[in-house]
Structure 1
């Protein structure tokens, strides 16, 4: 066993895998003019917008688990690229409503299958996306995400 593997801990391995995943997704989405973080926000907004809903910036932050200030920066860059629009919420002037533009919907539709293929490639050692190993990993990661460690 090499030294890096022998001294690895869970946090280090999650960090390494996350960085590898992000970098691969950045390369995959470059032709669409998106980074991994921008895609995550855009795809999440797509999912939240089903049925014509216009989620707020705060709802998008809560859904993605990203800090509101980071979502604000992502939303600003996505708006500047013509993927989304922002508008003041009619019932709460402090809230910002988000919606995909036609261009945003087209980019998400084109990128989603590519990202899904990449997920399947990344999870092949566990049996692919639908494999039992992947399902156990999902359950374990969800358990860790749901856990609120005490200070």
Structure 2
């Protein structure tokens, strides 16, 4: 049994799942010409953003910023490094950590990808984009 008389079509979680899948497909399609997966984009963009803000992020900083698992983050960063989009160096303050720096190519691609993803977001969310939508989404991200 379900509490929703109309079944899954009335379940907020089920609807959010479907919206998320539709949005992810749109972002994936936008990033395909750049040869970036969605998670590669997120980690490259986070690296670029934190660096632009004057930080020297390590892998843990990036995982925290992106909301990703640290082991998966490490694997994706290795892929981005092999593509020549970022470099990882031993941290001068923590022998166990590696700092992450976008290469010039990575910075350029991050800016290009951010523009594409923001355009995709604008197209996707325009019909429902209101201040209350951002307030609701922000509230849902809080623990």
TM-score of the aligned structures, taking structure 1 as reference length: 0.83
Q: 1:51 offset after TM fit, Å?
A: 4.7
State the distance in 2 between where 1:96 and 1:17 align: 36
CA-based RMSD = 1.9
**CA separation of 1:106 and 1:5: change in aligned 2, threshold 3 A:** farther
> Match of 2:42?
40
Q: 1:125 offset after TM fit, Å?
A: 0.9
Query: Which segment is superposed worse, 88-97 or 107-116?
Result: 107-116
Larger RCO of the pair (alpha carbons < 8 Å, separation 6+) = 2
- SS class of match (2:93): coil
TM-score of the aligned structures, taking structure 2 as reference length: 0.88
CA contact (8 A) 2:9 2:15 kept: no
Q: 1:52 offset after TM fit, Å?
A: 4.3
Which runs of 5 or more residues in structure 1 are unaligned? 128-133
Matches within 5 A, 1:43-122: 43-122=45-124
> Match of 1:144?
140
Which runs of 5 or more residues in structure 2 are unaligned? 1-5
State the distance in 1 between where 2:50 and 2:8 align: 42
- SS class of match (2:92): coil
Q: Deviations over 1:105-149 (max 9, x none)?
A: 11112222221111110111124xxxxxx32112112112113xx
**CA separation of 1:15 and 1:54: change in aligned 2, threshold 3 A:** same
Q: 1:5 offset after TM fit, Å?
A: 7.8
State the distance in 1 between where 2:13 and 2:53 align: 38
Q: When the two structures are aligned, how many residues end up with a matched partner?
A: 139
- SS class of match (2:88): strand
CA contact (8 A) 2:8 2:14 kept: no
Q: 1:28 offset after TM fit, Å?
A: 0.9
**CA separation of 1:88 and 1:6: change in aligned 2, threshold 3 A:** closer
State the distance in 2 between where 1:5 and 1:21 align: 23
